[in-house]
Amino acid sequence: MTDIKIYQGNQIGGCITVIATDTSKIVIDFGEALPGAEIVEKIEFDWENEKVDAVFFTHYHGDHIGRFMEIPDDVELYMGEVTWKVLKNLYTALHNTEIVERLENRPNIVFIQPNESINIGDVRITPYSVDHSAFDAYMFLLETPDKNILHTGDYRDHGHRGHKLKGGKDINVMLEVIRCYVKDFGRRKIDVLITEGTMMGVRKTDKCYSEKMMLQDAKDYFREHKHIFLKISSTNADSLATFYHAAIANGMGFYANKYVLNQLDTFSEAGRKYTNFYSFDRKWPILHVPGEQSSSEYQISYIGQRKHMREEGFVMLVSEYEHYEDIMKEFEDLKPVLIYSLWKGYINKDIGKAAYNPKLAEFCSKHNMIEMHTSGHAYPDFIKAVINAVDPDELIPIHTTDGEGFRNLDIPEKLKETCNARW
């Protein structure tokens, strides 16, 4: 008999899903709560008594994988190779040698591949790629002796990989994967759907804004504004590609620190297997003002870079730290623009509440800031479309503060009755 247990499903981030049969136990995601999450206490998982066989991670965001260091060494960890590389880049930059060494030396980290099934005891797990703001994101089909379960992870359809042209027609990739692979053209019934619902809460009325729309807006904007500072997540491959291509289309340089350049190289290496869209080939490191000990070669490079930036324009990734402020002051006479491409709750206390970041808000307020941002999560209409495409017998919303909101979707009544039963 298959048992499903959800921890912290009624919040965004920090969700833990446990799927157990008579002989096997699988955990999906083991992440940290997001800043400002209204949780009573941190879930302390009983690894010794739970006897977990494997943990599968949907993607590399901290609210899904951030607590992996707590997992005992005898538990196998399954993740995408890009997830492993992104984490290694991040913790190397943070000088956290303990985590880097664990990532490099832990013997039972297994890299998953899209559409390639893995057997853990009597459970068969198949990962399928999904469109999300994390490059390496998956949903999982779990086939147990008595149930077929689909765990979506975080997903959307308005990113660069959400749609494709096939035979001259626009194809929604995730719905096509559900139809052809998950449901096997109607030959496989899905008993339980576990789906994220981030946008079902206060953000359910947000205007749907896609990466393709933002790319066109950025291209248009950069024709008139050639000197751009950009505040964005270093792991948001899609939006980084959006602003990169907008810059290249307008002859502008794309500049970032060494850590971000390493992340871009990771996305380039993985992405070029399928498309050139994620090939960040025309990018440069930010050179800082030369010190007294700087070589003449460095000083010449610095002068050349600044001259090129002034004449040709630039998109430079910055953050709310003093050394970036010093660089930004160099270009004050050009009246540069700061593009903010993160959730607005981090700089708006009324929206973000405990997630509000006063240092970031002050940084943004000092500069000529505009917002350009797309959500990494599905809007309610697409959540509804996924539910109806899967057509499960039971619906379990997670990663949401508004499970009740699922009852307002145009989905079968039987699902509205069960959607909060497992919290």
Query: Are residues 199 and 215 both part of a single domain?
Result: no
Q: Could you give the CA distance from residue 13 to residue 398 in angstroms, rounded to a whole number?
A: 9
Domain that holds residue 173: 3-205+377-418
Residue that wins the pLDDT comparison between 118 and 272: 118
Q: Is the residue at 218 inside a domain? A: yes
Residue 423 belongs to some domain of the structure? no
Q: Are residues 45 and 101 in the same domain?
A: yes
Cα–Cα distances in angstroms (integers) from residue 120 to residues 29, 64, 110, 182, 354, in the given order: 16, 21, 12, 19, 40
Band (pLDDT 50/70/90 cuts) for residue 202 is low
Q: Is the pLDDT of residue 37 over 80?
A: no
- 105 and 136 in one domain? yes
Examine residue 339 and state whether it is found in any structural domain, yes or no.
yes
Question: Same structural domain for residues 151 and 255?
Answer: no
Residues linked to residue 341 through DSSP beta bridges, in sequence order: 232
- Comparing CA positions, the residue from 190, 47, 54, 75 lying closest to residue 118 is 54
Among candidate residues 371, 388, 406, the one where a domain is terminated: 371
- pLDDT for 403 equals 86
Give domain status of residue 292, yes or no.
yes
pLDDT-above-90 percentage for the chain: 80
Give the CATH number, domain containing residue 17.
3.60.15.10
Residue 420: per-residue pLDDT: 60
Which of 133, 149, 243 lies closest to 198 in space, CA to CA?
Answer: 133
For 159-282, list the strands marked E by DSSP: 163-166, 169-172, 192-196, 227-232, 253-256
Do 252 and 396 lie in one domain? The reply is no
Looking at the fold, whether 276 and 301 belong to one and the same domain comes out as yes
Q: 299 and 277 share a domain?
A: yes
| Segment 309-334 mean pLDDT | 94
As beta bridge partners, residue 255 has: 284, 316
The phi, psi pair for 339, rounded to 5°, reads -95, 125
Reading phi first (left if > 0) and then psi (alpha if -120 to 50, else beta), residue 142 is in beta
Inside any domain, residue 61: yes
**pLDDT above 70 (res 40):** no
Same domain, 113 and 31: yes
pTM value is 0.94
Q: pLDDT band for position 260 (50/70/90)? A: very high
Residue 41: pLDDT band (50, 70, 90) is: low
Contact 7, 27 (CB under 8 A): no
Tokens representing 294?
């700087």
Instruction: Write down the pLDDT at residue 360.
Output: 95
- Residue that the structure tokens 């800082």 belong to: 288
Asked if residue 398 and residue 345 are part of one domain, the reply reads: no
Please report which confidence band the pLDDT of residue 36 belongs to, taking 50, 70 and 90 as the band edges.
Answer: low
Which 3 state secondary structure label does DSSP give 205?
coil
Query: What does the pLDDT look like over 365-407, one tens digit per residue?
Result: 999 999 999 999 999 999 999 999 999 999 999 998 888 889 9
> Is residue 276 located within the same domain as residue 294?
yes
pLDDT at 44: 84
- DSSP letter at 286 equals P
Do residues 239 and 354 both lie within one domain?
A: yes
Q: Which of 355, 371, 387 is the last residue of a domain?
A: 371
Q: Tell which wins on pLDDT, 181 or 323.
A: 181
**Count of domains for the chain:** 2
- Exposure on the CB side of residue 124, measured as CA atoms within 13 A: 9
345 is a domain residue = yes
* Domain boundary, last residue among 371, 386, 403: 371
What CATH code is carried by the domain that includes residue 343?
3.40.50
Identify whether residues 99 and 193 lie together within a single domain: yes
Least confident of 37-51, 171-185, 202-216: 37-51
Q: What pLDDT digit, counting tens, does each position of 89-144 carry? A: 999 999 999 999 999 999 899 999 999 999 999 999 999 999 999 999 999 999 99
**Taking the CA of residue 97 as centre, how many other CA atoms within 13 Å lie in the half-sphere pointing to its CB?**
0
pLDDT confidence of 39, banded at 50, 70, 90? Answer: low
> What integer pLDDT is reported at residue 38 of this predicted model?
62
Dist CA 189 CA 269 (whole Å): 37
Residue 169 lies in a domain: yes
Reported as a single tens digit per residue, the pLDDT across 342-355 is: 999 999 998 888 88
Matching residue, tokens 């959800």: 6
- pLDDT per position as a tens digit, 206-222: 778 999 999 999 999 99
pLDDT value, residue 362: 94
> Sign of dihedral through CA atoms 352, 358, 359, 362?
positive
Residue 153 amino acid letter: G
